[in-house]
């Protein structure tokens, strides 16, 4: 039966693959120019059939050998993933602890700063009598300046009143016509 020429469809059925896969294999092997035509179908001679079968057998064994290491490789990758997950969880716990320590440090720094401010206030309270004297002197000087400005304002108000009176007197003078003013009569 192997001495018989087969069509591509018959060979595909015999090898339990698709016709397009047989065609692809023939092109891969470079046999597509060597095929003979029987009517409108291509046929494969027994020598070509053996080459195609050998190629497909090699491909199957190659696929099977690669599948087994992939499975073991997948298992090792899975164990690596688990190891990395445990490392990640451990790192997250360390980060969380570091955050707690940082919060405690910030709280201590704030308390220290508040204590320093209280000490400054106490020290400034001890020096306060001198400051009070200076403040009292400053308030006396400012009060004197205020009194001086107040008296100047009153004087300006008096001058302003006098000017108002003068303006009113000028407004009350009889108005002269143009000719009277011209000849001063």
CB 72 within 8 A of CB 46: no
pLDDT > 70 in the chain, percent? 85
In whole angstroms, give the CA distance from residue 140 to residue 137: 5
pLDDT of residue 130: 60
pLDDT of residue 31: 83
Classify residue 17 by its DSSP letter.
S
In whole angstroms, give the CA distance from residue 111 to residue 105: 10
pLDDT: is 118 or 169 the higher one? 118
* Alpha carbon 37 to its chain's center: 67
Q: Against a cut of 0.75, is the pTM above it?
A: no
**Beta bridge pairs of residue 37:** 42
Give the residue carrying structure tokens 């508040």. Answer: 114
Q: How far apart are the first and last CA of the chain?
A: 159
For the chain, what are the domain ranges?
6-120
The beta strand positions in the chain, using DSSP E, are 6-7, 36-38, 41-44
């Amino acid at each position: 039966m192997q001495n018989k020429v087969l069509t591509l469809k018959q060979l595909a059925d015999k090898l339990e693959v698709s016709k397009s896969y047989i065609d692809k294999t023939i092109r891969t092997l470079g046999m597509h120019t060597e095929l003979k035509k029987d009517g409108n179908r291509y046929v494969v001679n027994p020598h070509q059939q053996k080459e195609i079968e050998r190629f497909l057998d090699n491909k199957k064994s190659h696929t099977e050998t690669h599948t087994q290491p992939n499975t073991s490789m997948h298992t090792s990758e899975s164990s690596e993933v688990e190891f990395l997950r445990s490392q990640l969880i451990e790192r997250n716990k360390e980060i969380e602890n570091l955050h707690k320590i940082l919060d405690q440090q910030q709280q201590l720094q704030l308390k220290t700063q508040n204590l320093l401010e209280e000490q400054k206030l106490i020290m400034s309270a001890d020096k306060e009598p001198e400051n009070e004297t200076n403040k009292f002197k400053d308030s006396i000087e400012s009060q004197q300046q205020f009194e001086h400005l107040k008296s100047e304002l009153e004087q300006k108000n008096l001058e302003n009143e006098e000017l108002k009176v003068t303006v009113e007197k000028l407004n009350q003078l009889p108005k002269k016509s143009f000719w009277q003013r011209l000849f001063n009569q």
